[in-house]
Structure 1
Amino acid sequence: MVMGMASILCSLNGHHHAACWLVLIGYLLDLADGAVARQLNACSALGAKLDDFADFTTFGIATSLLLRTNELMDNILCMCYALSVFVRLCFFSSGIPFMYRGLPCIYSSAILSSASLLSGGNMAVLRIIAVAMILFMISQNFYPHDRVLESQAWKKVVYAGGIAMLFCSSFAPACLYYLLWSVSYILFPTSLWSSKV
């Protein structure tokens, strides 16, 4: 939630590059918070609600502000993106263990943030990606919930690579790393990311 609020402040003050990287840091933290809570035996109903609030702050509001301009249509797209994250968080349960309905918003945010950094904030590119991510999030497709830090060793290596990339945040390959990681979740959800804990 702190990363999301910091990203919102950066967006409002015109620090686009920092806003994108704060969303990506939030992406890493969101993948880790459940594993940490389970290790500390600190899981609770309150924690689950706080996680949803943090997700909406970072992957809804903060990410949608990356689309904000002075144009009316961009601001409508900004609102639609935030609303689609809200809908996705409210109705994500599929009733099937380890499966979600609709693309988890952390991946759509990582794709949008990475694309924004790689394209230099090109709004034509971001509009197309945002519309695609909205459609993926509100779709009825099934996506796996794999606990990356409690799964196969190679997934932990991918996560560690994401942390290492934070120290290369001024380089395009770092953004490309996050983009490929997130896109792989959309393209190969069952073959790569569906292993149960």
Structure 2
Amino acid sequence: MILLTPSSFFQYTNKLLLNDHATGPQIKEFARKNAANALSMANMVMGMASILSSLNHHHAACWLVLIGYLLDLADGAVARRLNACSALAKLDDFADFTTFGIATSLLLRTSDMMDNILCVCYVLSVFVRLCFFSIPFMYRGLPCIYSSAILASASLLSGGNLAMLRVIAVAMILFMISQNFYPHDKVLESETWKKVVYAGVVMVFCSSFPPACVYYLLWSVSYILFPASLWSSKI
């Protein structure tokens, strides 16, 4: 695995850009090392766009979070496939915090003080989850990507029913800060499951119908309910 510091990353980038005789292999190596970074940046852009959309376009904000969900999954898969860690080590965490923390919490925001407190609690739980989740081969506490997908999907399917979203948000907070163990989603690396993922991508970009939301909801809930049997050979 290749891990670069931010300073060495920018030095390498400048060297490549200033070199008039950069070869094809050099460019390909640069692209390989930074493919995951590009997906993390795209995830962050989706999160920021969702934050802006949540002010007036709740429906679009939910979909942007779900697109960020796919990009985050692709980020890890691409990094493993290309055998290259993120050159900016914390970029993925920043992107996750933007999309699955701030942007998702704003789906719950109203003028009511208690809803705003719930938003703050949700963001804090994502922050805690991102800071303390890393242990070998497992996650401690529910990964925030799945709680975010459940909230966004439920919001779309229920038409933004606040009572339901409040209950789900509280449950997701408890799952994220719990000490339960969840496996790394190794099943996503299988060829069969990739086809299912691609089907979901098609639904996202070609329709806005409930089946796409149900797809994401079932995907995320299955990770909570059946982590060992569906997502990993062992837990």
Query: In the TM superposition, what whole-angstrom CA distance separates every residue of 1:31-83 from its partner, at most 9, and x where no partner exists?
Result: 00122234444414x43300000000000000000000000000000110011
The question of whether the paired residues in 2 share the 8 Å contact of 1:4 and 1:59 is answered with: yes
How far residue 147 of structure 1 moved from its aligned partner, in angstroms, is 3.8
* Structure 2 gaps, min length 5: 1-43
Tell me, yes or no, if structure 1 residue 11 matches structure 2 residue 54.
yes
2:131 is the alignment partner of 1:130: no
Instruction: Read off the aligned partner of 1:20 and give its amino acid letter.
Output: C
Task: Give 1:106 deviation, angstroms.
Answer: 0.3
* TM-score, normalising length: structure 2: 0.77
Q: Among the aligned pairs, what percent are the same residue?
A: 84
CA distance in 1, matches of 2:219, 2:160: 20
Indicate the residue corresponding to 1:68 in structure 2.
109
When residues 37 and 86 of structure 1 are mapped into structure 2, their CA distance, relative to the original with a 3 A threshold, is same
Q: How many residue pairs were aligned?
A: 191
Q: Which has the higher contact order (CA 8 A, sep 6+)?
A: 1
Structure 2 distance, partners of 1:56, 1:27, is 12
Structure 2 equivalent of residue 162 of structure 1: 200
**Residue 48 of structure 1, aligned match among 89, 95, 119:** 89
RMSD: 1.5
Aligned residue in 2 for 1:2: 45
State the AA in 2 paired with 1:185.
Y
CA contact (8 A) 2:46 2:67 kept: yes
TM-score (norm 1): 0.92
Q: What amino acid does structure 2 have at the position aligned with 1:141?
A: N
| Cα distance in 1, alignment partners of residues 80 and 138 from structure 2 | 19
Q: Which residue of 2 aligns with 1:116?
A: 155
Aligned residue for 1:182?
220
Structure 1: which 5+ runs fail to align?
none
Aligned match of 2:38: none
1:148 Cα deviation from its structure 2 partner: 4.7
Confirm or deny: 8 A CA contact 2:187 2:230 kept in the other structure. Answer: no
